[in-house]
Amino acid sequence: MEKLSSQDAGFLKIESAHCPFHVAGLLILRPPANAPRNYLRRLAQKCGRLNELWPLFNKKLRDPQNLADAAWIPADDYHPERHVFHYSLPQPGRMEDLLALVTRAHERPMDRSRPLWEVHVIEGLDRGKFALYCKVHHALVDGVGAMKMIQSLLNTSASKKLDLDEVHPEIEKHQGHHTLFEALGDLTRGFQKQYKALPEVSRLLAHMGYDALQGKKDAMRLPFTSPRTIFNTQLDSRRAIVLCDLPLNGVRAIARQAGGSINDVLVAVCGGAIRHYLQAQKALPRKSLVAGMPVSLKAAADESGNKLSYIMSPFFTDEADDLRRLRRVIKVTRAAKAELGHMSSTAAQDYYALIMAPTILLTVTGNATRVPPATNAIMSNVPGSKEKLYLEGAELEYLYPLSIVTDGMGLNITVVSHVNKLCIAIVSCPTELPGVEGLGKLMKQSYRELQAAVREQ
């Protein structure tokens, strides 16, 4: 028996029928030219043995109804057919059909009486392509860890097969401060470090408060000062998944010309797309929407490892000029990273924990929509592979990360780079968002508009 940490139990407690707490990945693959007729059946059978690779796939909750003393126990009744599902799309295998199937799977909470993971093998896409939709509960692993698990199954050789006898490294449960309960758990660390970090955190919050009092618009936002929008409402169980991809080299060229980062360009592109969408719905607030972004900062010279924190940057949806929007994003993120970069790792992480703790409590108590949102959307950018990757000889063409939305935080944008493209997945609840499926086209439109603006400068 293995007792759940307070973080992991928290992910289960915050979960509801209308807000499941699993993360997922959608892979689009092209099978090898010489694939036998039973290729996908054999792949599905191998996926049914993934519990042999990772011990976390072979444990279940001792008592799903009692989370006060939650514990993992070995799943001695494991059945692969309860975790691996094999479908065929109706012809001609449109992406719309794939998204409809994946959306239904992403909406559905997992059965807590079983190990909390699933793999869906979906064949019948155009030109013989197929898809894998893989999901795992956040109590087992976070989004970054889940992506690393998926990537560990892939390799750079088309001839290499999935070896179930190969030893895979154990994936860390939570790789960074990307979620609410991880932030809260961080508050329990050593008192001495917390005490020393308090002046740094207080100084940062004071700077942010001073900027707000001065009316500075090109500055990092204080939490719970974001405008209320149609993205920040009470959710139901419906989900909308929007996929989009942008050329990595094109985005990098814009970033280079503007003197910013790839992430800056993505924030500006998202800002333009969200602006277009809200204008069409006659729901664009005067104040800019705010993006909450986990960021990795270079550790100080006397510190080892990575330093993770959180930036709350405006999307600048109140800015009609595309180039000016990008320059304003760069100004905010550059200043934020500089200020956070001078803080100790403890202070940078505690800043995130302290600002997100109220969000956790509001979410748990069902009051998330009764106050202004901490941010309007969560936006994450995860680096992927620069090389082509294969699974059982099938080439990976796209890898889309699908994350979590909750009451009051109904828009999640996650990006993964793969070879020469940026794969973008947007998850939302469509009930109060008419036409939200068009956000992918608006992202491409916003990218083209920004690209043209940069060329004309």
Q: Residue 124 sits in a domain of what CATH number?
A: 3.30.559.10
Residues 243 and 330 placed together within one structural domain of the fold = yes
Q: Is residue 421 part of a domain?
A: yes
- Eight-state DSSP code of residue 138: T
97 and 210 belong to one structural domain: no
Q: Is residue 166 part of a domain?
A: no
Same-domain status, 349 and 428: yes
User: Each residue of 271-327: pLDDT tens digit?
Assistant: 999 999 999 999 999 999 999 998 776 555 444 445 567 888 999 999 999 999 999
The region of weakest confidence among 60-74, 76-90, 219-233 is: 219-233
Residues 35-59: tens digit of each pLDDT: 999 999 999 999 999 999 888 899 9
User: 169 — phi, psi (to 5°)?
Assistant: -65, 145
- The tens digit of pLDDT for each residue in 334-375 reads 988 888 777 777 776 666 666 666 666 777 677 778 788 889
Task: Say what the pLDDT of residue 198 is.
Answer: 60
Residue 96 has pLDDT above 80, yes or no: yes
Predicted TM-score (pTM) of the model is: 0.90
Residues 121 and 200 in one domain: no
With bands split at pLDDT 50, 70 and 90, how would you rate the model's confidence at 204? low
Query: Could you tell me if 310 and 437 lie in one domain?
Result: yes
In this predicted model, what pLDDT tens digit does every residue of 141-189 receive, in sequence order? Answer: 888 888 888 888 999 999 998 887 775 666 655 544 444 444 444 444 4
Mean local confidence (pLDDT), 12-22: 91
Residue scoring higher pLDDT (166 or 431): 431
Answer yes or no: do 120 and 191 share one domain: no
* DSSP code at position 231: T
Q: Is 279 left (phi over 0), alpha (psi -120 to 50) or beta?
A: alpha
Q: Let me know if residue 398 belongs to a domain.
A: no
DSSP single-letter state for residue 72: E
Give the tens place of pLDDT for each residue, 388-403.
999 999 999 999 999 9
In a domain, 390, yes or no: no
Closest CA to 364 of 21, 68, 14, 18: 14
Number of domains the chain contains? 2
Q: Which of 106, 136, 110 is nearest to 425 (CA)?
A: 106
Q: For residues 221 and 143, state if they share a domain.
A: no
Average pLDDT over residues 195-200: 54
Q: Do 148 and 186 share a structural domain?
A: no
The verdict on residue 62 lying in a domain is yes
**Residue 68 vs residues 180, 342, 366: alpha-carbon distances, Å:** 19, 40, 19
pLDDT of residue 213: 65
Is it the case that residue 219 has pLDDT exceeding 80? no
Answer whether the bond into residue 74 is a cis peptide, omega within 30°: no
Percent of the chain scoring above 90 in pLDDT: 63
Same domain, 186 and 93: no
Same domain, 143 and 191: no
Supply the pLDDT for residue 184: 46
Average pLDDT over the chain reads: 87
Mean pLDDT calculated for residue range 375-381: 94
12 in a structural domain = yes
Q: Are strands 84-88 and 117-123 parallel, antiparallel or unpaired?
A: parallel
Residue 172 placed within a domain: no
The CA distance from 109 to 69, in Å, is 21
Q: Which domain holds residue 188?
A: 180-383+404-456
Report, as an integer, the average pLDDT of 123-130: 95
Rg of the chain over all Cα atoms, to the nearest angstrom:
22
- Position 392 scores a pLDDT of 95
Give domain status of residue 163, yes or no: no
Q: How far, in Å, CA of 61 to CA of 140, rounded?
A: 11
- Regarding whether 140 and 101 lie in a shared domain, the answer is yes
